[in-house]
């Protein structure tokens, strides 16, 4: 502690207080001459207290701050308390550092000290401020980049949505374009079948029908796989008879297997429940595909279709369908990719077997949607075994089969000699009524008219929605004018959706059955929302049309009595 024209700080406590501060504490006279300075001056500035006492306090600052330090001194004389002043301090070696100075005017007249100053080295603080500023800047940059990414993401989401939308529309149109001619081809082939003159013609028509059905199968498989990929695929699970499913599937292959000299044996183990909860249409589709391959790729021997119950990794048991053949088998290295779309063991131009390579990929996806899994084991020239395992969710029904005592049930077996009957045709009853048939394709109008007439039903036709509405108005919406409307949904002038809405608004209460060549879930919902009673997807087989028409005509009496 050094003094000049002030009395030395004699009080021991006061001296220690002054010197224990890390800041530099200084007393100045009115002109800013240093009178007393704390020992911390040495550590902060490199001067000894004696070296600075008697000098102007501007010695502490860099030349750039001389003016501002003098102004601050003058201001501090009048204003009390004066705010802290940031300045650049200069050490004895000429190096600079940021500091903060606060000056207080002293009121005591005891000494000639006029100001008490506290000078603080804020280098560390300003370093952290600087790094905080940098971090803030970086943060802002990141925030801006994030915002940009968000916009990009939203834009690409919109693109994905638009692409999905376009794909969906394309699929719907494709579906329409494929199914409309297929409806005509298959429908007319069915008609031809019934009006044959010679056995020779029968063979020809059979060929057309077989190939048409095959083509439709391919189209359906490709559309189905696209629909699954788009998430536009409906699974409708309910309790259904396992035996019926097997019968439907196996009976389709008895004849082709017989022609190749192969036997199909079907066995259901006794502990397999009679009813399972699943989507029977989709399960049939899977088993149909697998059996179709088994027949296609087997030249001799046998095909076994077995159903059994097996334990599952979860608590529930699983029903397992096995389709085993003694065919050409699949090489081990090809097995890994066999469930990938368009994957075929032999895809050369000289291959022996036709096919698209879509069937197994579709089966895999369908089985997953059904809540199960599909696997395969195979050996070249020995045969293949495809297994479909499903959670059956249903208890074994109480009415046990006669043969449940341990015997295996044999449902449908095909033997080369062909003693087994193929799928029985349902006996169709007659129906009465008058139907308004609305479709823009002339061939379809002729076909469906023929089918309906065959059922004993009178038919009036219209070629678009507008014509249908006009016709209904002409008949003044008489309650008995038309017992049912069969409405194509995609038509020029006025489509089926608009026409149905209009007809419903005008008070028509009887069934309107939508007929569409699209087959997406959304179409079904759209048809029902427009006011349709039921939805049928083209191509429609005679039996299906008969069943629907018959069912709704018999319900009409109940509707009209209300």
Q: Name the site residues for ligand ADP (rule: CB under 6 A).
A: 289, 293-294, 297, 325, 327-330, 338, 343-345, 355-361, 384
Closest distance of CB 261 from ligand ADP, Å: 17
Closest distance of CB 327 from ligand ADP, Å: 5
Burial class (CB in 10 A: 0-12, 13-18, 19+), 72: buried
Closest distance of CB 238 from ligand ADP, Å: 27
Closer to ligand ADP by CB, 60 or 288: give it: 288
Closest distance of CB 330 from ligand ADP, Å: 5
Closer to ligand ADP by CB, 359 or 465: give it: 359
CA dihedral 485, 491, 494, 500 (to 10 degrees): 30
Closest distance of CB 299 from ligand ADP, Å: 11
Residues composing the chain: 562
Closest distance of CB 367 from ligand ADP, Å: 13
Burial class (CB in 10 A: 0-12, 13-18, 19+), 348: exposed
Which residue in the shown chain puts its C-beta closest to ligand ADP? Answer: 355
Closer to ligand ADP by CB, 270 or 355: give it: 355
Q: Is the CB of residue 325 less than 8 Å from the CB of residue 384?
A: yes
Q: Which helix (H) or strand (E) holds 350?
A: none
Closer to ligand ADP by CB, 291 or 548: give it: 291
Residue in 233, 519, 180 with CA at minimum distance from that of residue 362: 233
Q: Is the CB of residue 103 less than 8 Å from the CB of residue 117?
A: yes
Closer to ligand ADP by CB, 37 or 358: give it: 358
Closest distance of CB 517 from ligand ADP, Å: 24
Q: What is the DSSP letter of 398?
A: S
Tell me the C-alpha distance between 282 and 249, whole Å. 12
DSSP 251-316: HHHHHHHHHHT-EEEEEE-TTS-SEEEE-HHHHHHHHHHHHHHHHHT-SSSEEEEEEEEE--SSSS
The two three-digit tokens of residue 523, written as one number: 């179409």
DSSP 161-174: HHHHHHHHHHHHHH
Closest distance of CB 416 from ligand ADP, Å: 19
Closer to ligand ADP by CB, 168 or 344: give it: 344
Closer to ligand ADP by CB, 228 or 491: give it: 228
Closest distance of CB 247 from ligand ADP, Å: 21
37, 157, 168 from 162: Cα distances, Å: 77, 8, 10
Closest distance of CB 142 from ligand ADP, Å: 49
Closer to ligand ADP by CB, 218 or 394: give it: 218
- The phi and psi torsions of 69 (rounded to 5 degrees) equal -70, -35
Closer to ligand ADP by CB, 187 or 359: give it: 359
Residue 381 backbone zone (phi > 0: left; psi -120 to 50: alpha; other: beta)? left
Closer to ligand ADP by CB, 358 or 517: give it: 358
Q: Is the CB of residue 171 less than 8 Å from the CB of residue 227?
A: yes
Residue 273 backbone zone (phi > 0: left; psi -120 to 50: alpha; other: beta)? beta
Tell me the C-alpha distance between 101 and 76, whole Å. 11
Closer to ligand ADP by CB, 384 or 519: give it: 384
The two three-digit tokens of residue 171, written as one number: 């699929």
Closest distance of CB 294 from ligand ADP, Å: 5
């Amino acid at each position: 502690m050094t003094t000049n024209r002030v009395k030395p700080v004699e009080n021991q406590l006061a001296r220690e207080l002054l010197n224990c501060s890390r800041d530099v504490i200084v007393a100045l006279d009115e002109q800013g001459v240093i009178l007393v300075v704390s020992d911390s001056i040495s550590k902060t500035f490199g001067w000894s207290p004696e070296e600075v006492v008697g000098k102007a306090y501007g010695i502490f600052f860099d030349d750039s701050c001389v003016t501002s330090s003098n102004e601050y001194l003058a201001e501090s004389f009048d204003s009390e308390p004066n705010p802290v002043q940031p300045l650049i301090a200069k050490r004895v070696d000429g190096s600079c550092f940021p500091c903060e100075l606060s000056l207080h005017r002293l009121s005591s007249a005891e000494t000639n000290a006029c100001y008490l100053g506290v000078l603080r080295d804020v280098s560390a603080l300003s370093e952290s401020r600087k790094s905080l500023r940098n971090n803030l800047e970086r943060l802002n940059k990141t925030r801006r980049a994030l915002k940009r990414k968000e916009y990009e993401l939203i834009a690409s989401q919109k693109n994905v949505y638009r692409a999905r939308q376009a794909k969906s529309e394309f699929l719907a149109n494709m579906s329409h374009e494929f199914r409309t001619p297929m409806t005509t081809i298959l429908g007319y082939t069915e008609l031809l079948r019934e009006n044959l003159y010679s056995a020779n013609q029968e063979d020809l028509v059979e060929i057309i029908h077989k190939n048409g059905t095959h083509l439709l199968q391919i189209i359906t498989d490709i559309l189905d796989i696209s629909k699954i990929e788009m998430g536009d695929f409906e699974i409708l699970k309910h309790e259904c008879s396992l035996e019926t499913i097997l019968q439907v599937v196996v009976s389709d292959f008895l004849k082709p297997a017989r022609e190749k000299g192969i036997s199909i044996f079907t066995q259901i183990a006794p502990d397999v429940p009679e009813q399972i909860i699943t989507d029977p249409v989709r399960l049939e589709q899977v088993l149909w595909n697998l059996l179709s391959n088994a027949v296609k790729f087997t030249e001799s021997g046998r095909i076994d279709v077995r159903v059994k119950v097996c334990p599952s990794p979860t608590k529930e048991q699983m029903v397992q369908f096995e389709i085993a053949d003694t065919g050409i088998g699949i090489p081990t290295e090809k097995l890994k990719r066999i469930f990938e779309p368009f994957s075929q063991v032999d895809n050369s131009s000289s291959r022996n077997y036709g096919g698209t390579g879509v069937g197994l990929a579709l089966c895999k996806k369908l089985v997953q949607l059904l809540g199960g899994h599909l696997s395969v084991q195979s050996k070249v020239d020995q045969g293949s075994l495809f297994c479909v395992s499903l959670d059956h969710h249903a208890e074994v029904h109480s009415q046990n089969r006669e043969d449940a005592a341990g015997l295996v049930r044999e449902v449908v077996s095909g033997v080369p000699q062909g003693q087994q009957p193929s799928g029985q045709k349902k006996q169709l009853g007659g129906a009465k009524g008058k139907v308004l048939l609305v479709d823009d394709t002339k061939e379809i109008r002729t076909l469906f008219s023929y089918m309906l007439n065959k059922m004993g039903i009178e038919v009036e036709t219209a070629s678009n929605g507008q014509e249908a509405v006009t016709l209904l108005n002409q008949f003044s919406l008489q309650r008995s004018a038309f017992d049912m409307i069969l409405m194509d949904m995609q038509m020029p002038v006025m489509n089926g959706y608009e026409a149905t809405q209009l007809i419903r608004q005008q008070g028509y209460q009887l069934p309107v059955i939508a007929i569409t060549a699209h087959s997406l879930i959304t179409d079904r919902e759209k048809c029902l929302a427009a006011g349709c009673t039921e939805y049928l997807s083209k191509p429609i087989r005679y039996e299906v049309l008969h069943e629907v028409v018959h069912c709704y005509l018999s319900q009409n009496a109940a509707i009209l009595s209300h």
